[in-house]
Amino acid sequence: MPVHTATPLAESIPAPDRVWYASYGSNMHMDRLAAYLAGGTPPGAARTYPGCRDHRAPERSIAVELAGRLYFATESPVWTGGRAFYDPAAPGRTRARAHLVTVGQMSDIAAQEMYEEPGADLDLTAALRDGRDELGPGRYQTLICPGTIEGIPMLTFTAPWSLRDVEVLNPSGSYLRYLAAGLLESGPWEEQDIARYLAACPGAAGNWTAAQVRSLLTTTTDP
């Protein structure tokens, strides 16, 4: 299975009805994403999600790679450890999984990430024009558009701050397990390669070895 990269925006593009929602965190895992789409409490989570207005599964899901760095910061009340964030300006490459969904579905996923009720579509105008739009000060209220895949815009959301502006935080084993499993599920990456990648991300680096991350894929207890 190939790893896709986005074609950079050359000009402002018209408002689409579908987008590639690029997840670099636990929503790479289809079981986890299903709770955001259809509602429910995914395994290992302490929160029940209301779901999207449209409960359908993604039309497609593909492996993607983004310019920038994945890091862990701010304590998650769900996972009790650092959350995944994406800094598009930091040197490095971020592995992600892009789900082809409607604009409404992505808007509702973003709302649930901010512990808000879903129900209103995001205004994508600025993000599709400039590649970035800060919709608010929240941790997942900054929209990033790295470009398009097959002519369809790819969007993700992250914090308004950068990696250098925040103190990184060790992620929990249960959280890393979802990330590792989601990357493995996406197809192109092998277990050891995934483990090395996640263990090197700021926040995990120095707290997790590649061997420990890999062991999360074969056990339900943290090393």
What pLDDT sits at residue 221?
A: 65
> Which CATH number applies to 3-164?
3.10.490
Quickly state the pLDDT bin for 55 (edges 50, 70, 90).
Answer: very high
Quickly state the pLDDT bin for 45 (edges 50, 70, 90).
Answer: low
Helix-helix angle 30-38:103-113, to 10 degrees? 100
What gap in Å lies between CA 107 and CA 74, rounded to an integer?
23
How many other C-beta atoms are found inside a 10 Å radius of the C-beta of residue 103? 19
Look at residue 172 and tell me whether its pLDDT is greater than 70: yes
What gap in Å lies between CA 146 and CA 169, rounded to an integer?
26
